[in-house]
Amino acid sequence: MRIVTSLFFVLTAIASIAQDSDLPNDFLSKDFHKERRAKLRVNLPANSVAVFFANAVRNRANDVEYVYHQDPDFYYLTGYKEPDALLFCFKDSQRAANGSTYNEILFVQPRHAQREMWTGRRLGEQGTKDVLGFQQAFNNSEFSRYNVDFSKFDKILFFDFKNDVRDNPRDSSDLYDLIIQFKSKVKYSERNAASLAVEPPKNNLDTKELATQMANLRGIKTKEEIELVRKAVSISCIGQIEVMKAIKPGMSEREIQGIHEFVFKKYQAEDLGYPSIVGAGHNGCILHYIDNYKPNVTSKELILMDLGAEFHGYSADITRNIPVNGKFSPEQKLIYELVLKAQEEAMKITKPGTPRQALTDTCRAVVNRGLVELGIIKKDEKHLYFPHGVSHHIGLDVHDRGGPNLEENNTVTIEPGIYIPDNAACDKKWWGIAVRIEDDYLITKNGYEHLSKIAPRTVKEIEDMMKLPSVFDNFELPDLKKVNEKSKSGN
Ligand code: GLY
Ligand code: MN
Ligand code: MN
């Protein structure tokens, strides 16, 4: 028994050494998360507590789960990337049974040698204290015995439940159970939820205010966050540049997607901020086209590519459009330059104090005027060629929390577009042209920094970039048919 125990400790020690040396060291620091919780606490209403749940594990099929992604609010406040966890931030200090005081408490999934062997390392309560700097961290199985009197708070702030969490019957303290236990402790009932939606609260439960609180915090990026956004944006720009050099007629939409995503991975981006959009010709008219199944793009098509790497949680959101043969047709160029003009006009008013809606209004005015001049619409005609707004915050979400007016240290997009589907009510020479130009900006004291400016944006910059050789020019893989024939024949 002693031998087994010490062997266990040796193995655990080796595992944690491997864990430390395997991890990049440029994630958000524990001080960042701690300082964000402190800031939240300052902003919370009197005598309140804010409650946050980790994201659910989602089942893909049978015994395979979707890759886990932490809830961005939870990650922002804790740095914790694992499921089945619960955070309380108290406005005022609480007194524990042993007389000590605390103003935050985290419940996390426990260490479990066998499960960690299958699904990966866990921090556990001690790791949460050591790595994330929490003083009060407990295994989630402790939550059922956690006996704060929730009726004493004037407000309990949390995001309402969506009733879309599965129970893992083998785990009696998973997220599903934590939610049930929480509901019972705070006297939440589905009837409360319905009345909260239409009437002022009759109890101390508040499912509305936390969104504003978190938007106020997350919309203004700190220096550490800006560095990560900057990295995500630069990586995504390099993806665009490499595709501009590599694209050839006959490539598939998915192969183009693969080049972008290979670049993301080469630079250690863990994830995508959103599913990659690569649409050739009329496919670009589907705003969030993620099928990417066209097997070969043709020489005269314009390809709309909207992709963003997620680096250490932070997402870019960049769209470029390139002619497959390296040269814009006259019609493509006219539409492209109209969208570019709209973006340039919006950039002129991009500074603190400008409502993001004003960016949309500016772009819409330029596009509408231009479409009339090109004879694509008649004056004042309602149309669907530009059906979306042009600006949102980016950060831990691609559509990040943040306020309606631009403020210093916001990170936002400006993304006008024109989409003319086949059979549109205009000359058919315009059909199948879809253009969205999307860039990422850091709002500064007096204006903005154009974070994605290294991705060629004017017609000339794009055409010049497309003339350059590519590292993928000589990249060839064997013919799959021949490989299959060979494998069938056994030779
Ligand atoms: N890629 C999604 C968006 O542009 O908002
Ligand atoms: Mn966007
Ligand atoms: Mn986008």
pLDDT digits (tens, 9 = 90+) for 98-114: 899 999 999 999 999 99
Cite the residue boundaries of each domain of the chain with CATH code 3.90.230.10: 221-465
Buried b (16+ CB within 10 A) or exposed e, 156-181: bbbbeeeeebeebeebebbbbbbbeb
pLDDT at 122 over 80: yes
pLDDT in the model for residue 3? 39
pLDDT in the model for residue 189? 85
Percent of the chain with pLDDT over 70: 93
pLDDT at 115 over 90: yes
For ligand 1, residues with CB inside 6 Å are 274, 306, 317, 398, 415, 438
CA-nearest residue for atom 4, ligand 1, is: 317
Measure the CA–CA gap between 402 and 406, rounded to whole angstroms.
9
pLDDT at 2 over 50: no
Q: Give the atom of ligand 1 at the shortest distance from the alpha carbon of 274.
A: 1
Q: Which of 236, 274, 391, 393 to mutate to test the pocket of ligand 1 (most atoms within 8 A of CB)?
A: 274
Q: Token pair of 294, please?
A: 């066209």
pLDDT in the model for residue 195? 61
Q: Give residue 133's region: left, alpha or beta (phi > 0; psi -120 to 50).
A: left
pLDDT at 319 over 90: yes
Cite the residue boundaries of each domain of the chain with CATH code 3.40.350.10: 24-217
pLDDT range class, residue 24, cuts 50, 70, 90? confident
pLDDT in the model for residue 320? 98
Average pLDDT over residues 271-287: 98
pLDDT in the model for residue 194? 61
pLDDT in the model for residue 17? 43
Measure the CA–CA gap between 117 and 386, rounded to whole angstroms.
51
Q: What is the pLDDT of residues 321-355, one digit of tens each?
A: 999 999 999 999 999 999 999 999 999 999 999 99
User: What is the separation of C-alpha 267 from the centre of its chain, rounded to a whole number of angstroms?
Assistant: 17
pLDDT at 472 over 50: yes
pLDDT range class, residue 97, cuts 50, 70, 90? confident
Q: Which of 94, 89, 101 is nearest to 149 (CA)?
A: 94
pLDDT in the model for residue 22? 75
Percent of the chain with pLDDT over 90: 89
Q: Find the Cα–Cα–Cα–Cα dihedral 227, 231, 236, 238, rounded to 10°.
A: 130
Lowest mean pLDDT among 192-196, 278-282, 329-333: 192-196
pLDDT in the model for residue 198? 58
What CATH homologous superfamily does 221-465 map to?
Creatinase/methionine aminopeptidase superfamily (3.90.230.10)
| pTM, 2 dp | 0.94
pLDDT at 380 over 90: no
Other CB atoms within 10 Å distance of the CB of residue 412:
27
Average pLDDT over residues 387-404: 98
pLDDT at 14 over 50: no
CA of 308 to the centre of ligand 3 (A): 7
Look at the alpha carbons of 204, 207, 211, 212 in this order and tell me if their dihedral is positive or negative.
Answer: negative
CATH code of the region 24-217: 3.40.350.10
Measure the CA–CA gap between 436 and 386, rounded to whole angstroms.
9
Residue 314 contacts residue 232 (beta carbons within 8 Å): yes
CA of 437 to the centre of ligand 2 (A): 10
